[in-house]
Amino acid sequence: MAQTTTGAALPGGFRSAEQGWPELHRIPHPPRRLPLLGDVLGANRATPLQDSLRFARQLGPIYRRKAFDREFVFVWGADLVADLADESRFAKHVGLGVANLRPVAGDGLFTAYNHEPNWQLAHDVLAPGFSREAMEAYHPMMLAVAGRLTDHWDREQAAGRAVDVPGDMTKLTLETIARTGFGHDFGSFERSRPHPFITAMVGTLTYAQRLNSVPFPGLLRRAAQRNAADIAFLNRTVDDLVRARRTAGGDGDLLDRMLETVHPETGERLAPENVRRQVITFLVAGHETTSGALSFALHYLSRHPEVAARARAEVDRVWGETPTPGYDQVAKLRYVRRVLDESLRLWPTAPAFAREAVQDTVLAGQHPMRRGAWTLVLTPMLHRDPAAWGADAEHFDPDRFDPKAVRSRPAHTFKPFGTGARACIGRQFALHEATLVLGLLLRRYAFVPEPEYRLRVTERLTLMPDGLRLHLDRRTVTAGAATTVEEAPSELRCPVHRAGD
């Protein structure tokens, strides 16, 4: 369901494309469509996103696929996505895998329907938790968690072992959001196996994705039982965390805001059940996508030594011998930030977002849509559209995010955090954390890839490099390295109040 500009709720439930696209026949679909089954030939249940990218390359900037009795419209052309960003005609659509997460996240910020009041209440209450003042308070805790990572990597390097990049980035980002947002320590780096919270979280994400490819959920009876157990564990973990905070009190972090802050205009508070849902949302979304972004960035740095050398030189020049860089020094790593942005361009770890029409309209002047019709934006293909990114859009090149290059591109061509009012509230948190960590790792290590490794991507609603391991060489900072930089600090632009990218 969603809310129109007049306030009336849209019909609930799944809406197949033929219900909302009057000229659906004009939109291409894969060849060899089978009766009853649809476009399933060549599809891999484990890689639906990568299958969708393959079809996108074959069929063009808008196409459709049918799975059993459900038809979907996919969009990735830059002009079409720019039109979908019009908030007066389109809004977030909660569907596919996102709706499948509602049993655990309910009306949390990420999974709430537009008409549900708790979304706006939580957004208004929590937005100050991502202000500059709040971010500066989080910075020392981010440094402390990064120190636990480098201690672990130092031990692995000294023993001659390669490091498990996705596994260690997941530990890092989980501990960071848990410490900064909720004053909790999962002890991830002291464990030989992933924390049970991680195991349960991965289970719920994987189950949510599997539901999209199965015609009858009853076929997943055993998986549904495991999913219910995973959800129960996530709920117990968060309930224990909240209970401890109510007893001990806190220090003004996100959890305190959830428990104590009232809406500045209405005086409302978040209900206890909604607090649980918001905590789960932040713990899951606040670390899963950032760990993937860091992992992809480290993969590309290891495969492009010239890029790593340039980024490392910037870190040495800007930070010098400063053992613990300050908050403002992170924003001065302009080229490191470009490396991160280029990694997010090729593999945005939240790889799609859905938009629905809040009124009868025509998409980009070409495709009529009825109110309630929706489409899925394939972000990795948007980020590869040659019309916006050039003929070499498949290649890794951080200079695409040089300020001049950014200004030369049309608006709405870079969307790793979604779009509009429902874009990621924690964007600045994620960018600061990831840029800080990349800077610390570049300064401390040289990254050596395993020669036989070829990038494989694991899908569990979010994206992650599969089996990525790197060898490390320790390095030292050159004595007397400059601590100034000619370029101005990077700007962490707000996706809601700043048009375009």
Tell me which residues are annotated as active site. 289, 417, 424
Distance CA(346)–CA(338), nearest Å, equals 12
Q: CB neighbours of 298 closer than 8 A, spacing ≥ 6?
A: 165, 169, 438, 441, 447, 468, 470
Residue pair 206/323 in contact by the 8 Å Cβ criterion = no
Task: Based on DSSP, count helices (H) and strands (E) in the chain, helices before strands.
Answer: 18, 12
| 68 closest CA partner among 43, 51, 93 | 43
- CA gap 213, 67 in Å, rounded: 7
Residues 6+ apart with CB under 8 A from 334: 314, 485, 487, 489, 490
Rounded distance between C-alpha atoms, residue 94 and residue 114, angstroms? 8
**What is the DSSP-derived secondary structure letter of residue 271?**
-
Contact in structure between 411 and 499 (CB atoms under 8 Å)? yes
Nearest to 43 by CA among 57, 30, 24, 27: 30
Give the residue from 477, 487, 471, 480 showing the smallest Cα distance to 162: 471
Rg (CA), the chain: 22
Q: What is the dihedral of CA 246, 240, 288, 314, to 10 degrees?
A: 50
The Cα–Cα gap between 418 and 34 comes to 33
Long-range contacts of 80-84 (CB under 8 A, 24+ apart): 80/363, 80/364, 81/377, 81/382, 81/412, 81/413, 81/415, 82/364, 82/410, 82/411, 82/412, 82/413, 83/363, 83/364, 84/355, 84/363, 84/375, 84/377, 84/419
Interior CA angle at 21 toward 15 and 27, to 5°?
Answer: 115
For residues 209 and 218, give the distance between their C-alpha atoms in angstroms, rounded to a whole number. 15
Residues paired with residue 367 on neighbouring β-strands, in sequence order: 363
Query: What distance, in Å, lies between the first and last C-alpha atoms of the chain?
Result: 28
Neighbours of 395 (CB within 10 A): 11
- CA 279 and chain centroid, separation: 17
Alpha carbon distance 103, 211 (integer Å): 13
Mention every residue, 6+ apart, whose C-beta is less than 8 A from residue 25.
none
Crossing angle for the helix pair 334-346 and 427-444, nearest 10 degrees? 110
